[in-house]
Structure 1
Amino acid sequence: MVKVAILGASGGVGQPLSLLLKLSPYVSELALYDIRAAEGIGKDLSHINTNSSCVGYDKDSIENTLSNAQVVLIPAGVPRKPGLTRDDLFKMNAGIVKSLVTAVGKFAPNARILVISNPVNSLVPIAVETLKKMGKFKPGNVMGVTNLDLVRAETFLVDYLMLKNPKIGQEQDKTTMHRKVTVIGGHSGETIIPIITDKSLVFQLDKQYEHFIHRVQFGGDEIVQAKQGAGSATLSMAFAGAKFAEEVLRSFHNEKPETESLSAFVYLPGLKNGKKAQQLVGDNSIEYFSLPIVLRNGSVVSIDTSVLEKLSPREEQLVNTAVKELRKNIEKGKSFILDSSKL
């Protein structure tokens, strides 16, 4: 079985994420860490009658949290609020993620690190560069969790099909739409690229197709506005994060993934088919991109580039737009680590 650690367990994403992973049959030990309240949350969850143990640790006990952890999820950070841009988020969350990843490199150097904190496009490069400086980086062990974009795409695709043609919409199952749609690119705004792999559905959507794309890209804004400043996507993010973590955990047991075309934001140069992916997106120097991954024993062993070989002209436009923005996001993250090392 597997020990899983959650860093940022008392936050809006961390608490429901902790609950969902306490329910997972693939977890034997759940370790919760935060600067406050993690001990109480751990005690609360430990009363649930699943077979995993659950312990919460205080802010001075990160070594105990991480010791022997095989999977580490990082939802820690400041949430989005109205008027708060992802750049603002970056400034606040970059230091948090750097500190936590440094601890992982020190106390759990072989752990698979799943970065949930936003902005993923910049924080994953921070995690990678931090581990590189420590001499602890393994390309297949660092994953940016972009799964909420797929969860939204599955939901919204059925919603728009229902609007256009209720009969066709009613024939769809939101829980299995990952067989007909995937999401690649990055994890913010126009870097998010929904790809409907069943092209007959693009035809069915007709004029709703562009509305679908925009809603997947900016769906998070709906939640920020609806919560009236009280937070961002927390419950849906926890659900998506737990689903992604469960796929990683399943791979430890050599079980087939339940989600087809499961994507993650990964470091391309270190992975099989990484160079091919760079060529297909038209930028041989871009180091990170979210694409369907192949997992083995909890790590990414290769990426599936087939989706990039079948793009429509509109999807190619989306990729080109995403790559331009991603380059800036990635550089921001890398510079945070590399520039600070020069001081």
Structure 2
Amino acid sequence: MRKNILVLLVASILLVGCMGGAHGKGHGKGGGLKMKYYQNLCRSVSVENTVRDIVWSKVSADPAMAAKLLRLHYHDCFVRGCDGSILLDPTQNTTTEKTAGPNRSISGYEVIDEIKTKLEANCPGTVSCADIVALAARDAVSFQFRREMWPVFTGRKDGRVSLASEVGGNLPSANANFTTLLNQFGTKGLNLNDLVTLSGAHTIGISHCTLVARRLYNFTGVGDADPSLDPTYAQTLRNLCPNPINPSTALEMDPNSSLSFDSDYYRALNQHKGLFVSDAALLTNRQSASVAKILENPKLFFAQFAMSMVKMGAVEVLTGGQGEVRTNCRVVNS
């Protein structure tokens, strides 16, 4: 079984390498993304270089920013697609995605604002906030390697609708089981390989004790820890998160390092040291567990992650006459 999955993974990676930009055509409504979309639209400045230079400067000063910008892209794409809707501030009449519970801990907005301000000064009304989010996520991860970790096809337009009520049913939860996760990814045109691979983003970044409290202290209602957790790791987490829980206490999602983008997440996961219920859920399905074992290989993980990020970045994109290019990422154009 595992050997067959490895063959399929390698074959799909090689196929994408031969196809080049085929995935740039996107998924869902829209499509039409392409490489160097702004090359002839912004002649006074390189859009890609501008985003990279600002993001690399921010990550250099604050290495934790890499995970923040990657998470911002994830949370944008899973609700209404990659349309920058997460960036919209609430109004008098609307509670936007930004205000929904799972998004209240999102940060990095100020970096997007800085990039947008610079691009507006050099190329007004041209570069979408959605594209900036996608490019910033790639560049944030790439800083560690000083090379582009995946291609970003551009040409997205910004959405004009952002509703807090749509977040819960679309955004995968840290407490979701495998069936729920697979269904949520499936509705976005993402498959099992994408689910396991994109979960590898948990190799960087932090969470908080509140998200694992039930898993540590009351998993079945009698004060017990989740039996799928490695007992030693569970005790380590209990020591870090004593009951009653302090909501402000931070936890590394990858117990080996929260700042290094690598395949250590899968090594920890396969030792039953995944932080979330949703991490442990990947081991409850035979095929998913086999993929998680294979992705311990860093070369395979990086290659598959690049493929899955291109797919996710094309989910339900708005292009052409759809949407708009906001002049301020926090508000729709008047």
Q: Per chain length, whose mean CA-contact separation is higher, i.e. which structure has more relative contact order (CA < 8 Å, sep 6+)?
A: 2
Structure that is richer in strand per residue: 1
TM-score range for the pair, normalised by the shorter chain length: under 0.3
TM-score by length of 2: 0.27
TM-score by length of 1: 0.27
